[in-house]
Amino acid sequence: MAEEDIPTWEEVARRYGRFLYSVAYRLTGNADDAQDLVQEVLLRVRRGLSSYQPGSMEGWLSRIATNAFLDDVRRRNRRPVELLPEDLDRSAPGAPSADEALAAAVLSDDVQTALSRLPEEFRVAVVLCDVVGLSYAEIADRLGVPTGTVRSRIHRGRTMLRHALAGGAR
Amino acid sequence: MTFAEHPGDLLSAYIDGELSAGETAAIEGHLVGCPACRDELTATSWARQAMRRLPELELPFGVVERVLARERAKFLPVAWAGAAAAAVALAFLSLAAPQSATPPTVGRMVQVHAASTGGDPVSGLAPVAVPASFSK
């Protein structure tokens, strides 16, 4: 493939910034972590752009974003897997930042609120399926789990979402 | 293939087209006689659509710029160190190099210029004598 098909780092940042931020926001569930994740992804892109094989730039970026997110989760071990409380409601703890408030006004905030409160493993599976558009096999490969686990996480994640939305966020 | 019990997790995979032909046929057979699973299928489809309708977000201003600034800050000390090393090397070479030629004096340069022009190009006068002090 011709070299000119590989965009510069600045072009990637400008052209795919919205996509990256959207994926990052869905994965992390808040604006601050999403911005940190985007920055980390852009740094990794800068280092790895020469090894990029022209093809699906969004697929490549989402892989980097997912890896960076999972690296961060493993490193910080910040949120152990827990069952979603039965009485999930809309009242998120703490005041939202200005960016979060802005983002909430732009997107479907009830869905985002419910999504943000999903346990991480379910949220990641649902986001990779419904936002990034990966197949179950691709998600399984990316997360290093069997396809049956992906199937279960996606269905349970969607079930939690609809219960949350029907129970108070709608 | 049929499902004696509710297919549960397989409903999402069914909606996503992730099942084999046999599994798909089995689920469809089950759905015909199970209102509860039909309701769950409808609700799951709704949640899936809600996720897929989420809009793309605008990247907040400054995120890209911060990465650029961070990268520049990382490489700036390296650039300065390189420049400093180059300056030291140049100074060393200029000191170490043999002084093979004596720089011409100002007087010598004036003489050469006067000889080449044949006089003052403005006044048209003959070349003046070079001041003794310049000839040293």
Task: Search chain B and give the residue with CA nearest A105.
Answer: B57
Examine the pLDDT at A83 and tell me if it is beyond 50. Answer: no
Examine the pLDDT at A170 and tell me if it is beyond 90. Answer: no
Examine the pLDDT at A19 and tell me if it is beyond 90. Answer: yes
If contacts are CB pairs under 8 Å, which of residues 35-54 in chain A contact chain B?
35, 38-39, 42-43, 46
What are the C-alpha distances in Å from B17 to residues A127, A150, A153, B20? 17, 14, 16, 8
Interface test with A, best of B54, B65, B68, B72 (most A CBs within 10 A): B54
Q: Tokens at residue B114, please? A: 């006067």
* pTM score above 0.80: no
Q: Does the ipTM exceed 0.95?
A: no
Helices and strands (H, E) in chain B, number of each type: 6, 0
Burial of B63 (0-12, 13-18, 19+ CB in 10 A): buried
Q: In which residue ranges of chain B is pLDDT below 50?
A: 135-136
If contacts are CB pairs under 8 Å, which of residues 68-97 in chain B contact chain A?
70-71
Residue range A85-126, pLDDT digits in tens:
433 333 333 344 444 444 344 347 889 999 999 999 999 999
Q: Do A107 and B70 touch (CB under 8 A)?
A: no
Q: Do A112 and B54 touch (CB under 8 A)?
A: yes
